[in-house]
Amino acid sequence: MSARILDGKRVRDEILAELRPRIAALPRPPGLAVVLVGNDPASEIYVRNKVKTCGELGMFSEKLTPPASISTGELLDLVRQLNARPEIDGILVQMPLPAHIDSRAVLHAVDPAKDVDGFHPLNAGKLVENAPAPRPCTPNGVMELLRRNGIDPAGKRAVVVGRSDIVGKPMALLLLHANATVTICHSRTSNLARECERADILVAALGRPAFLGRDHIGPGAILIDVGINRVDGKVVGDIDEAAARELASAYTPVPGGVGPLTIAMLMRNTVESAERRVR
């Protein structure tokens, strides 16, 4: 039996199609401001795709591109100006920021109601207690992918490899809220292969190309590959795709799996913010 491919593009298109009538029902287009500091090539591609998707949906987007030399204080002023603008429903500060900037202070300065990345500590706290709030886009996109493919995490053993604030930790919490039994693994985990091999659902978010291979995958596991790594001009995930095809019951390809969902969930968070603020 060959593994089922979990197609992120199909799910993205479903989510965006559901947003169109909600956008049309609003008295004004939802507004997203994206702040891109400096000129990191990968960040520029992400931002271009976000702005393009806004345009396709009939949303208002504004891209701000301060130079890499901007100070923390100047960037905080810029964020506060966006907080005060009524036509802006979502503010996204593209990470990573230059090393001299206090990234945490910048993320904390975003109005929690406009924090469409779900990174503000208030929204992170609401995620912990499972209260309504914007959820981080990539982990929430993974949950949509599972749901729309008929995969219920309840009662399953889920292993998340990676403990970042952006993916690993919120992914573990969302799976926990969906009644999975969750293990978080990281660079200090002893016998990583044994922990991974026990997983019914294995989420790879460690940023190391094809690092998880045959030894890490239990027969029939569901594999969610969040990794985006560039190797010799090719984009590859954190899971060895040949091993995934052979051993898994279902897996997300890279590219075309989790990636498309991140922007779809960003758009949904922005529309929901506009709906709340219009009400």
Question: pLDDT digit string (tens) for 32-77?
Answer: 999 999 988 888 888 999 999 999 999 999 999 999 999 999 999 9
Class of domain 137-260: alpha beta
Cis ω for the linkage preceding 66 (within 30 of 0): no
The reported pTM is 0.96
Residue-wise pLDDT for 90-109, tens only, equals 999 999 899 999 999 999 99
CA separation for the pair 225, 241 (Å, rounded): 9
Q: 137, 127 in Cβ contact below 8 A? A: no
Q: Which residue intervals of the chain bear CATH 3.40.50.720?
A: 137-260
Looking at residue 213, the DSSP 8-state letter turns out to be: -
The catalytic site residues sit at 50, 94, 117
Class of domain 28-111: alpha beta
Cα 118-123-128 angle, rounded to 5 deg: 110
Q: Which residue intervals of the chain bear CATH 3.40.50.10860?
A: 28-111
Out of 30-44, 59-73, 142-156, 235-249, least confident range: 30-44
Q: How far is CA 259 from CA 49, 236, 237, 267, in A?
A: 11, 12, 10, 14
CA separation for the pair 210, 111 (Å, rounded): 38
